[in-house]
Chains A and B, each alone.
Chain A
Amino acid sequence: MSFVNTLTDNWSLFLEAFANTVKLFLLSGAGALVFGTALAVCRVSPVPALRAFGTGYVTLLRNTPLTLVFFFVAFGFPYLQINFDFFVFAVIALTSYTSAFVCEAIRSGINTVPQGQAEAARSIGLTFAQGLRFVILPQAVRAVVPPLTSVANALLKNTTIAAGFSVAEAGSIRANLSELGEPVLNGLLWVVIGFLILVIPLTVIQHRLERLWNVSR
């Protein structure tokens, strides 16, 4: 019975922590989507300076451990006299890291559309906006959304790292429980179950979309 008690006795702790996890996920997900799209636009743009910036940013962030990014933001920013609370720092770290992957997903998705499609659209007299709207984007979205759901999945799991930097989210439940003298393993198993509940819908959506679009291609 003690396994169930670990959850029911600390119900508010679990609820608060997971609410923070979801908040972290949504905020940095939205931020990464915006910033990542901007980066992707830079990387496919005909302007060399912007392309170089996009490539540089992606190379830098993709090859740095997320923990190091967190470390730099959470402990380094105060030295640079940039002060927020740890939650905001966590959102900044997750956003800047995930943006690089969002950028790559979007860029490689756009690249899967054959160039003849754009040429054909131009040759039948569609304007740039029309070509984008009716020809290129509908095809690109199919290639972009599945990898984006994987990125979202990874982001959700990556939020746990914030626990190492004083943010009260699902990853930090362990430390709180052990202070209360609760059995650690039980608490951890409940956190795992919580994550499965959060991750499985994402995976199901991903498989659905893939199947839907594989058929109609």
Chain B
Amino acid sequence: MKAHTIEPTLLFDVPGPQARRRNRIIGLVGTVVLLAIGAYIVYRFAETGQFSATKWSIFEYAQVQRTILDGYLNTLKAAAVASVLAVTLGAVLAAGRLSDHRWLRGPAFVLVEGFRAIPLLLLMFLFYYGAPQVGLRLSPFLAVVLGLTLYNGSVLAEVFRSGVEAVPRGQSEAAFSIGLRKRQVMTTVLLPQAIRTMLPAIISQLVVLLKDTALGFLVTYPELLKELKQLATAGEFEFPLIPLVIVGGTIYIATCLALAAIARFLERRVSRPRGSGRRGARAEQRLDPAAEDELARTGATGE
């Protein structure tokens, strides 16, 4: 009776008997095609010896495990430092963009738009290969962290700005009318409300940041991917590149999904009903729809 539980969606009504039969056929054909593709890929892997014991035995060595772990820790270290700095920079730039003073708003706008337009890899190149020319020698770690900070900081600035602007205008009007100062309105009224709605976007940007640490491999920062590449040249294990990519991919995906799970947990926590309030917390959370769109968009585009 499973077919009866299918909810109507925007494009598809609850299927009738004929549609159900057709869907079953499409589902069957689709499954067969997908399984065939999957089977072919596995077959290619097996055929070219990717599952051979020699290739996978590389993971048995303590030295190798140590190397992979070190790479992973380097990835996490760069991501953690850059996250803290990027959130800080984002807050500063957002404050600039929301400022009442034109001489603050202008430069903040230029910085935010500028750093978002430059490819992150070029920022890292600038710090690692370009900076020595003006007498500034930066370690690969610093180049990675600075690049990640500037880029993600400017993306986060836009998240913060649209989050604050999404709080209904009545809130700041009410706050001003009871005599609060500008700074008080921001810190006691706007920010506490904005943070709830911004949190998912912030975390998904931090997931992007974590993934982008893998670019460090192109400026010789010894993060996970670089270590994997190094290990893949081991001739005595028949160049186990595919096994290493499978393991490395699993590590990245598990880490990102763990971050996303934290995001969902936090989202549930901060959006729980607030004691008084006649309409219940859900209704209170509604924002200006356009601003809500903008918020949802950031971080979901692979930037």
* Number of residues on chain B facing chain A (CB within 8 A): 66
CA distance A98 to B303 in the complex (A): 11
Please, what's the 1-or-0 string for B212-238, where 1 marks a CB less than 8 Å from any CB in chain A?
A: 111101100000010011001000000
CA distance A161 to B211 in the complex (A): 13
Are B44 and A113 touching (Cβ within 8 A)?
no
User: A67 — nearest CB in chain B belongs to which residue?
Assistant: B214
Knowing A50-B26, A97-B302, say if A195 contacts B117 (CB, 8 Å). yes
Residues of chain A contacted by B297 (CB below 8 angstroms): 146-147, 150
Residues of chain A contacted by B15 (CB below 8 angstroms): 46
Q: How far is the CB of A36 from chain B (nearest CB, A)?
A: 11
Residues of chain A contacted by B249 (CB below 8 angstroms): 64, 68, 72
Does B121 make an interface contact (CB < 8 A)?
A: yes
Does A115 make an interface contact (CB < 8 A)?
A: yes
Residues of chain A contacted by B296 (CB below 8 angstroms): 108
Are A71 and B129 touching (Cβ within 8 A)?
no
A-B CB contact pairs (8 Å), 27 listed: A44-B11, A45-B12, A46-B6, A46-B9, A47-B26, A47-B27, A59-B257, A63-B257, A64-B253, A65-B212, A66-B302, A67-B214, A68-B214, A68-B225, A68-B248, A71-B228, A72-B249, A75-B229, A76-B245, A108-B296, A118-B10, A155-B302, A163-B121, A164-B121, A185-B130, A195-B118, A196-B114
Looking at the complex, which one of B10, B214, B252 makes contact with A136 (CB distance below 8 Å)? B10
Are B241 and A76 touching (Cβ within 8 A)?
yes
CA distance A157 to B154 in the complex (A): 15
For window 1-53 of B, CB contacts with A under 8 Å fall at: 6, 8-13, 15, 19, 23, 26-28, 30-31, 34, 44-45, 48, 50
CA distance A192 to B44 in the complex (A): 41
Other than A108-B296, A147-B297, A192-B126, give 6 A-B pairs with Cβ distance below 8 A: A49-B30, A66-B211, A66-B214, A81-B48, A150-B303, A196-B114
Residues of chain B contacted by A45 (CB below 8 angstroms): 12, 26
For window 36-90 of A, CB contacts with B under 8 Å fall at: 44-50, 53, 59-60, 62-68, 71-72, 75-76, 79-82
Q: How large is the interface on A (under 10, 10 to 19, 20 to 34, 35 or more residues)?
A: 35 or more
CA distance A161 to B215 in the complex (A): 8
Residues of chain B contacted by A49 (CB below 8 angstroms): 27-28, 30-31, 34
Residues of chain A contacted by B242 (CB below 8 angstroms): 76, 79-80
Q: How far is the CB of A38 from chain B (nearest CB, A)?
A: 12
Are B303 and A154 touching (Cβ within 8 A)?
yes
* Residues of A that sit less than 8 Å from B by CB: 44-50, 53, 59-60, 62-68, 71-72, 75-76, 79-82, 97-98, 100-101, 104-105, 108, 110-113, 115, 117-118, 122, 132, 136, 143, 146-147, 150-151, 153-155, 157-161, 163-164, 171, 174, 178, 183-185, 188-189, 191-192, 195-196, 199-200, 203, 214
Residues of chain B contacted by A113 (CB below 8 angstroms): 10
Q: How far is the CB of A35 from chain B (nearest CB, A)?
A: 14
* Residues of B that sit less than 8 Å from A by CB: 6, 8-13, 15, 19, 23, 26-28, 30-31, 34, 44-45, 48, 50, 113-114, 117-122, 125-126, 129-131, 133-134, 207, 211-215, 217-218, 225, 228-229, 232, 239, 241-242, 245, 248-249, 252-253, 256-257, 260, 290, 293, 296-297, 300-303
Residues of chain B contacted by A110 (CB below 8 angstroms): 10-11
Q: How far is the CB of A158 from chain B (nearest CB, A)?
A: 7
Residues of chain A contacted by B113 (CB below 8 angstroms): 203
Looking at the complex, which one of B8, B211, B232 makes contact with A64 (CB distance below 8 Å)? B211
Q: How far is the CB of A61 from chain B (nearest CB, A)?
A: 10
Residues of chain B contacted by A136 (CB below 8 angstroms): 10-11
Residues of chain A contacted by B293 (CB below 8 angstroms): 112, 143, 146
Residues of chain B contacted by A81 (CB below 8 angstroms): 44, 48
Are B225 and A191 touching (Cβ within 8 A)?
no
Q: How far is the CB of B138 from chain A (nearest CB, A)?
A: 13
CA distance A66 to B215 in the complex (A): 9
Are B48 and A80 touching (Cβ within 8 A)?
yes
Are B301 and A72 touching (Cβ within 8 A)?
no
Q: How far is the CB of A93 from chain B (nearest CB, A)?
A: 12
Q: How far is the CB of B180 from chain A (nearest CB, A)?
A: 30
